[in-house]
């Protein structure tokens, strides 16, 4: 699971800088940076604030954080085929 990369991707898709996201979530820019670098895992309350600010359900963030390594090898090809199509639908 790569939640930091997912947050960074979704933040950029929604047009927020780290500073803007941090201000709206009432956390430090350093905290956002550390989360996006996967140096720290955000608390549930922080995840909720980020998702509310980005106007996405928490389930979207969790889906975007799934990496190939999280999927059993025999199912990866199917996951990869569906993953990009689903992601493009979710971020519209």
What residue spans define the domains of the chain?
Answer: 3-90
pLDDT the model gives residue 91: 77
- Give CA 36 to chain center in angstroms: 9
Task: Say whether pTM exceeds 0.95.
Answer: no
At the fourth CATH level, the homologous superfamily of domain 3-90 is lambda repressor-like DNA-binding domains (1.10.260.40)
d(CA 74, CA 63): 19
**Is residue 15 scored above 90 in pLDDT?**
yes
pLDDT in tens, 31-89: 999 999 999 999 999 999 999 999 999 999 999 999 888 999 999 999 888 888 888 88
Q: How far is CA 14 from CA 8, 10, 51, 69, 78, in A?
A: 10, 6, 11, 26, 28
> How many CB atoms within 10 Å of residue 86?
13
């Amino acid at each position: 699971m790569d939640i930091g990369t997912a947050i960074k991707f979704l933040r950029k898709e929604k047009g927020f800088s780290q500073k803007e996201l941090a201000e709206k979530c009432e956390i430090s820019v350093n905290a956002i940076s550390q989360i996006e670098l996967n140096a720290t895992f955000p608390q549930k309350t922080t995840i909720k604030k980020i998702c509310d600010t980005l106007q996405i359900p928490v389930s979207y963030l969790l889906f975007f954080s799934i990496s190939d390594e999280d999927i059993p090898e025999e199912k990866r090809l199917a996951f990869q085929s569906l993953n990009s199509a689903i992601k493009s639908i979710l971020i519209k």
